[in-house]
Structure formats: structure tokens, C-alpha cells
Amino acid sequence: QSVLTQPPSVSGAPGQRVTISCTGSSSNIGAGFDVHWYQHLPGTAPKLIIFANTYRPSGVPDRFSGSKSGTSASLAITGLQADDEADYYCQSYDSSLSGSVFGGGTKLTVL
Amino acid sequence: EVQLLESGGGLVQPGESLRLSCTGSGLTLRSYDMNWVRQAPGKGLEWVASFSGSGDGGHYADSVKGRFTISRDNAKNTVFLQMNSLRVEDTAVYFCAKPKYCGSDGCSGGLDRWGQGTLVTVSP
């Protein structure tokens, strides 16, 4: 059971918009710690796509956006493309655990 | 180009030890609080440990606390993960990763550079 809760899977057709939620608690997201998002394809290194809740690293398309409110955060992907199909993870810091925590991951399927 | 290269993975029996290495090129690892993250087969990412260059030493996930030790050799620009008393459930691909920003107030911005990972298999 992950400290940060994500839906196991989401799907959408090409061109559509999908969102992935990340629900935490008062010791992590709700305590004000930043949320970061990663895109991960099997056999490769995870890629940072959103940092500090809403910021995109250089080179990440603006189709990817992040938000945070209360004890939750969300990743939105608009204009879905086939190569967006991957696993997505949220990450934050937990003060009770004194360490980083990841969500359980969400598998995005592009129909 | 910034690169992180892990090595040291392999097949060991339960109770045995292994030391993973993460060597940096194009960056100075002592400038960052380096992290180890793992992914067990069919599972998600799990943060394992981080090394604080500010003097706090290592921080560990509860699942490895007391068994794993993270350290750094500045001369070799390398971070290590010493894994003792290995268990079957430690089987995973282990990644090293660096924070995006590190300064006097600590690190932030997520983990923006990752190695390709090294596979550790613990099996009787």
C-alpha cells in the first residue's frame, strides 16, 4: 500500500485529455511538500515531467501540466498521443517517514 | 552530457551482501544529495535511500533501514549502496538519481537525472 494513492490505470483516445490523481495526507502533500511527476517506460530510466507541482522541465511539451490542492495533486495530459502510453508516478516527501515517497503508479493506455 | 551509470548488480542468495555503485560523468556528485530508487518486478517505483552531503548522512526507507548503507567517494565521483542481509523481496532494478536543484537549504525539484538501472536478484 503506497503512501500516495494513484488510480492503477487510465485510458483515453488520441487527442483526448486525461488526468491522473495523486492523493496523500497531512504528512506529505497536505504538509506543503512539493509533488513531482515521472513518466516511465519499461526498461528505461524514469523521466521527470513535472516538478514542484506545476513546473515543466525544459523539453517537456506543454500538453503536460500539474496542479496541487490540499492533500492531492493531479497530472493532466491533453492532446493524447500514442507515445504518451507509459506508467506515471507522483512523488513527494513524507515528514512522518522522513523520506521520499512515490505513488503506486498509473498505467496510461492510449486507445 | 550528464550521465549516471550504475553497476554491481547480480544474483545472490538470501542473507548475502552486494554493493552497488553509481558513477557520475558530466557532474560532481558531491554537489547533490544522491538517491537510490528501486522497482521490483511488476511493481512500482520505491524510494530506497538518499545521501545528504550536508553532514546528515544517509536516510532510508523503513524496508531497508538497518540493512542498507549509502555512502559516497568524492575522489571517484561515485555513490554506493551497500546491501546486507538481502531478502527475496529486495529483488529489483536499482536506479540512482540526482535532484534537480541542491543548495544550502537542501534539494528540490524532483529527480531529474537517472541512471539506466542495475538488476539485483535475490533467490535461494
Give residue-wise pLDDT tens across range A22-58.
999 999 999 999 999 999 998 899 999 999 999 999 9
Q: Give me the sign of the Cα torsion angle B1, B10, B36, A56.
A: positive
d(CA A101, CA A25): 12
Q: Which of B111, B113, B119 to mutate to test the interface with A (most CBs of A within 10 A)?
A: B111
Cell, residue A50? 513535472
Residue of chain B with shortest Cα separation from A6? B44
Strands (E), chain A: 9-12, 18-23, 36-40, 47-50, 64-69, 72-77, 86-94, 99-102, 106-110
Decide if A38 touches B, using CB distance below 8 A. Answer: yes
Q: How far is A105 from chain B (nearest CA, A)?
A: 6
How much is the average pLDDT of A2-12?
97
> What is residue B106's predicted lDDT score, i.e. its pLDDT?
83
* Neighbouring residues of B51: CB distance < 8 A, sequence distance ≥ 6: B33, B34, B35, B57, B58, B59, B70, B71, B72, B79
Per-residue pLDDT band for B25 (boundaries 50, 70, 90) equals very high
Give exposure, B87-119, as e/b (b: 16+ Cβ within 10 Å).
eeebbbbbbbbbbbebeeeebbbbbbbbbebbe
Grouping H, G, I as helix, E, B as strand and the rest as coil, residue A30 is: helix
Q: A45–B47: do the CB atoms touch at under 8 Å?
A: no
Per-chain mean pLDDT for chain A: 97
Q: B59–A36: do the CB atoms touch at under 8 Å?
A: no
Grouping H, G, I as helix, E, B as strand and the rest as coil, residue A13 is: coil
Decide if B44 touches A, using CB distance below 8 A. Answer: yes
Q: B35–A100: do the CB atoms touch at under 8 Å?
A: yes
Percentage of chain B lying above the pLDDT 90 cut: 86
Per-residue pLDDT band for B45 (boundaries 50, 70, 90) equals very high
Residues in chain B with CB shorter than 8 Å from the CB of A55 are: 109
How much is the average pLDDT of B45-63?
88
> What is residue B54's predicted lDDT score, i.e. its pLDDT?
67
